[in-house]
């Protein structure tokens, strides 16, 4: 079906790493993002993990309040991140115990993947988990995708190496800790989904990235890291129609400029934890 510029495109917004922590700063940042989503007339919103900062029920309730316009109309899809697993482990309930499940919306088929593990109950063990069985489940889910829809795989952790973003991450990597590492089977996952989906959307890393993997099969494949939407004060919007992405994704600015939130980085306790881990490794 030929695409005409006069046809109304559908809009998919990708957000991640909100880290809502019951502070005025995170509330203001989330509220500003929601206003921008409304202004953009977005059809569906995905949030690829770290909705909360400490995995607390109260933080998740705050998320629900901010994003009520999309939750109440079935236009929101979200998956857990490592920050949703500590504390009250609210993230363990996001996918009802499933590691992979699918969501179908108008023009969209989304394969949702839980890349967290029980080790993420420890606030500072932030690396992800992706098993061979989960990769197989993703392949099977993709094989059931209907024709003429945009197909996306959603997960929290990064699938390929990305630059380190903080001094604690640098220390962790130097002493051999996996906390800043990509998913061990991330490259394998991309090889298996190549040609079967259009997008791999993830978060975890707070600086956005994108990667064009060309056309490994019938479909071109691109990988997008959202970055921390609340820290950045912006998000990407993908336009699509009749099962095809239209043009390049557009960055949409939040209604108000983002303000840095030191609670997200929590440098002092991170350094204390890394020093302890280094001591265990040496002795």
Nearest to 129 by CA among 91, 96, 101, 157: 157
Residue 47: per-residue pLDDT? 98
Instruction: Give the pLDDT confidence score for residue 5 in this predicted structure.
Output: 53
Ordered per-residue pLDDT tens for the chain, 283 residues = 455 555 689 999 999 999 999 899 999 999 999 999 999 999 999 999 999 999 999 999 999 999 999 999 999 999 999 999 999 999 999 999 999 999 999 999 999 999 999 999 999 899 999 999 999 999 999 999 999 999 999 999 999 999 999 888 988 899 899 999 999 999 999 999 999 999 999 999 999 999 999 998 889 999 999 999 999 999 999 999 999 999 999 999 997 766 655 444 454 445 545 455 554 444 3
Please give the pLDDT value at position 217.
82
Between the two ends of the chain, the Cα-to-Cα distance in Å is 66
Instruction: Report the alpha-carbon distance of residue 28 to residue 256 in Å, rounded.
Output: 9
Q: What is the pLDDT of residue 178?
A: 93
The pLDDT, as a whole number, for residue 282 is 42
Distances (CA, A) of 59 to 18, 21, 23, 55, 153: 11, 6, 10, 7, 26
Question: Which CATH homologous superfamily contains domain 10-282?
Answer: Metallo-dependent phosphatases (3.60.21.10)
Domain extents in the chain? 10-282
Per-residue model confidence (pLDDT) at position 8: 84
DSSP 31-87: HHHHHHHHHTT-SEEEEES--BSS--HHHHHHHHHHTHHHHTTT-EEEE--GGGSST
């Amino acid at each position: 079906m030929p695409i005409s510029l006069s046809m109304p495109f559908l809009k998919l917004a990708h957000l991640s790493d909100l880290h809502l922590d019951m502070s005025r700063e995170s509330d203001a940042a989330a509220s500003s993002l929601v206003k921008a989503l409304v202004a953009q007339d977005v059809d569906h919103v995905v949030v690829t993990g770290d909705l909360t900062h400490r995995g607390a029920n109260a933080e998740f309730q705050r998320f629900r309040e901010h994003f009520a316009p999309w939750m109440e109309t079935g236009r929101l899809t979200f998956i857990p991140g490592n920050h949703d697993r500590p504390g009250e482990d609210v993230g363990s309930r996001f996918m009802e115990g499933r590691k992979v499940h699918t969501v179908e919306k108008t023009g969209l088929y989304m394969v949702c993947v839980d890349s967290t593990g029980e080790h993420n109950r420890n606030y500072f063990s932030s690396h992800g988990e992706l098993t061979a069985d989960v990769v197989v489940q993703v392949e099977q889910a993709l094989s059931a995708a209907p024709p003429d829809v945009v197909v996306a795989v959603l997960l929290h952790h990064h699938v390929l190496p990305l630059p380190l973003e903080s001094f604690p991450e640098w220390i962790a990597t130097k002493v051999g800790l996996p906390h800043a590492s990509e998913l061990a089977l991330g490259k394998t996952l991309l090889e298996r989904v190549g040609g079967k989906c259009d997008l791999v959307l993830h978060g975890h890393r707070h600086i956005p990235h994108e990667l064009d993997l060309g056309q490994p099969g019938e479909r071109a494949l691109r990988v997008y890291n959202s970055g921390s939407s609340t820290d950045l004060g912006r998000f990407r919007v993908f336009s699509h129609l009749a099962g095809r992405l239209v043009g390049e994704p557009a960055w949409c600015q939040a209604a108000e400029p983002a303000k840095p939130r030191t609670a997200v980085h929590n440098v002092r306790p991170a350094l204390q934890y890394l020093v302890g881990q280094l001591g265990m490794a040496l002795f």
